[in-house]
């Protein structure tokens, strides 16, 4: 994509993330054509990141030119899986990758506690960003991410890929057209069996891994196998529980279908009824997001196999004339007279949609724009926050970015809207 204009970058040399603030911001991409080849990089090549490698490599006029992971075995495996394996650049430090001017776009599929720090650094380096869900680890990070994307006119796509699903797009359109009348409630359902993880003793971190860098902005903690690959999801320092993991997909669709953003109040309940192990995050949660004209209800039970209650992970919208269900079997309307209708529509590919927006230099073309995705992430953060504070009804003001009511625990709630960043791992952009 040589003729896309960019300013030169200044070299970074400092060890801390904050050093990336010294980068010049790339000019916006000049309007490109769909035939231009995009050089993409994947940061975090675990379960999802290796999927990103496969998916981006398959897209037309896109090559995965670089991969980055703090675990060299995962990084090398991902690189070797690519059609251009011998040319793929391999990094263990994303800051060095971001200095590479030949890279146009990056996707971030690391643990959640690294999403925003890396995304902000990438934006400052002029790279367009596909960031996995949840885009942030807390509400403060969501706000910064949206602000930075807007300020530097960077395309930031959120990994809530249901926004590109054919049936979800068609179902939302049908809801807008009144297929089930006035829609007064929407459920976001996350029912599945997530097995206990046991208790893992402190042990040595794997050979060749810079575990301190993996911890990054999170508090220092001795290595255990449960705080490592995948199971980090269940520790508040790195993950957002299953509400921020799988639940965010359903919360996002519910919010989209209901046509709402921030609620006037969030009623939280949940805890551990099933786990007796290293998990910090709940296995059971019911969160009600109260809006002026409707309710969004999140139900999570991680001890029940898929489809036990005929719904697994999915959504139900309840209207005055019927209900609309979206699940893994598609989207189905049942009207109050018993008539049943399947809803279908043409699917898009969330990653392809990202590249199209980048080529057009037009963030408004993104199906899962960061300003939309960040609100869904915030709903998850607020739900978790109220659950962690013992089950609260809280009110959050999106203008001031503050919790205004939380059963007398406002100071604790506001503290959980952000986190302490370890020295050397402060955010590169602070608004």
Ligand X SMILES: NC(=O)c1ccc[n+]([C@@H]2O[C@H](COP(=O)([O-])OP(=O)(O)OC[C@H]3O[C@@H](n4cnc5c(N)ncnc54)[C@H](O)[C@@H]3O)[C@@H](O)[C@H]2O)c1
Residue number, 45 or 387, with CB nearest to ligand X = 45
Cα 330 to Cα 168, 256, 320, 347, distances in angstroms: 8, 17, 22, 12
Q: Contact between 214 and ligand X (CB under 6 A)? A: yes
Query: Restricting to residues 245-264, which ones interact with ligand X according to CB under 6 A?
Result: 245
Q: Contact between 241 and ligand X (CB under 6 A)? A: no
Q: Contact between 43 and ligand X (CB under 6 A)? A: yes
CB of 214 to ligand X, least distance (A): 5
Q: Contact between 70 and ligand X (CB under 6 A)? A: yes
Q: Of residues 66, 69, 148, 387, which one binds ligand X by CB under 6 A?
A: 69
CA-wise closest residue to 75 among 44, 40, 112: 44
Residue number, 241 or 319, with CB nearest to ligand X = 241
CB of 98 to ligand X, least distance (A): 11
Binding residues for ligand X, rule CB under 6 A, total 27
Q: Contact between 242 and ligand X (CB under 6 A)? A: no
Q: Contact between 47 and ligand X (CB under 6 A)? A: yes
Q: Of residues 40, 127, 128, 133, which one binds ligand X by CB under 6 A?
A: 133
CB of 321 to ligand X, least distance (A): 32
Q: Contact between 132 and ligand X (CB under 6 A)? A: yes
Residue number, 219 or 390, with CB nearest to ligand X = 219
Q: Contact between 71 and ligand X (CB under 6 A)? A: yes
Residue number, 116 or 387, with CB nearest to ligand X = 116
Q: Contact between 97 and ligand X (CB under 6 A)? A: no
CB of 409 to ligand X, least distance (A): 28
Cα 250 to Cα 132, 133, 178, 184, 303, distances in angstroms: 15, 12, 21, 17, 18
SS (H, E, C) the chain: CCCCCCCCCCCCCCCCHHHHHHCCCCCCCCCCCCCCCEEEEEECCCHHHHHHHHHHHHCCCEEEEEEECCCHHHHHHHHHCCCCHHHCEEECCHHHHHCCCCCCEEEECCCHHHHHHHHHHHHHCCCEEEECCCCCCCHHHHHHHHHHHHHCCCCEEECCHHHHCHHHHHHHHHHHCCCCCCEEEEEEEEECECCCCCCCCECCCCCCCCHHHHHCCCCCCCCEHHHCCCHHHHCCCCCCHHHHHHHHHHHHHHHHHHCCCCCCEEEEEEECCCCCCCCCCCCEEEEEEECCCCEEEEEEECECCCCCCCCCCEEEEEECCEEEEEECCEEEEEECCCCEEEECCCCCCHHHHHHHHHHCCCHHHCCCEHHHHHHHHHHHHHHHHHHHCCCCEEEEECCCCEEEECCCCHHHHHHCCCCCCCCCCCCCCCC
Q: Contact between 20 and ligand X (CB under 6 A)? A: no
Q: Contact between 130 and ligand X (CB under 6 A)? A: no
Residue number, 72 or 181, with CB nearest to ligand X = 72
Q: Contact between 68 and ligand X (CB under 6 A)? A: yes
Q: Of residues 29, 56, 94, 396, which one binds ligand X by CB under 6 A?
A: 94
CB of 161 to ligand X, least distance (A): 6
Residue number, 77 or 153, with CB nearest to ligand X = 77
Q: Contact between 110 and ligand X (CB under 6 A)? A: yes
Q: Contact between 48 and ligand X (CB under 6 A)? A: yes
Mark 154-173 with x for binding to ligand X (rule: CB under 6 A) and - for no binding. Answer: -----x-x------------
- In the complex, residue closest to ligand X by CB: 46
Q: 265-271 and 284-290: which strand pairing?
A: antiparallel
Q: Of residues 17, 29, 42, 74, which one binds ligand X by CB under 6 A?
A: 74
Binding site residues, ligand X, CB under 6 A: 43-49, 68-71, 74, 94, 109-112, 114, 132-133, 159, 161, 214, 216, 229-230, 245
């Amino acid at each position: 994509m040589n003729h896309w204009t960019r300013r030169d970058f200044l070299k970074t040399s400092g060890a801390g993330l904050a050093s990336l603030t010294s980068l010049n911001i790339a000019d916006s991409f000049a309007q490109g054509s769909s035939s231009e080849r995009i050089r993409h990089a994947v940061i975090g090549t675990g379960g999802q990141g290796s999927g990103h490698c496969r998916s981006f490599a398959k897209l037309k006029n896109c090559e995965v030119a670089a991969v980055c992971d703090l675990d060299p075995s995962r990084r090398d495996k991902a690189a070797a899986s690519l059609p251009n394996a011998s040319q793929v650049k391999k990094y263990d430090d994303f800051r060095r990758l971001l200095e590479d001017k030949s890279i146009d776009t990056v996707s971030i599929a690391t643990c959640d506690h690294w999403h925003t720090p890396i995304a902000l650094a990438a934006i400052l380096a002029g790279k367009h960003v596909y960031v996995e869900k949840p885009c942030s680890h807390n509400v403060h990070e969501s706000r910064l991410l949206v602000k930075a994307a807007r300020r530097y006119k960077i395309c930031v796509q959120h990994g809530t890929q249901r926004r590109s699903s054919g049936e979800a797009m068609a179902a939302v359109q049908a809801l807008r057209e009144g297929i089930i009348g006035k829609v007064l409630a929407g459920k976001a359902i996350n029912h599945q069996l997530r097995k206990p993880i046991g208790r893992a003793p402190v042990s040595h971190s794997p050979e060749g891994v810079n575990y301190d860098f993996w911890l990054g902005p999170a508090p220092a903690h001795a290595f255990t196998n449960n705080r490592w690959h995948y199971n980090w999801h269940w520790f508040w320092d790195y993950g957002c529980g299953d509400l921020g993991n799988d639940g965010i997909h359903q919360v996002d669709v519910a919010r989209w279908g209901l046509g709402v953003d921030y609620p006037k109040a969030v009623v939280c309940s949940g805890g551990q009824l099933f786990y007796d192990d290293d998990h910090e995050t709940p296995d059971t949660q019911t969160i009600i997001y109260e809006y002026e004209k409707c309710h969004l209800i999140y139900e999570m039970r991680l001890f029940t196999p898929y489809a036990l209650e005929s719904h697994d992970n999915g959504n139900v919208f309840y209207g005055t004339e019927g209900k609309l269900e979206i699940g893994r079997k598609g989207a189905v309307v049942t009207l109050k007279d018993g008539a049943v209708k399947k809803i279908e529509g043409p699917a898009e590919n969330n990653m392809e949609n990202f590249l199209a927006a980048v080529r057009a230099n037009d963030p408004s073309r993104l199906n899962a724009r960061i300003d939309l995705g960040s609100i869904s992430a915030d709903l998850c953060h607020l739900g978790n926050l109220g659950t962690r504070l013992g089950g609260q009804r809280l009110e959050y003001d999106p203008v001031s970015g503050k919790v205004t009511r939380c059963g007398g625990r406002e100071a604790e709630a506001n503290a959980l809207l952000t986190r302490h960043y370890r020295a050397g791992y402060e955010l590169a952009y602070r608004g």
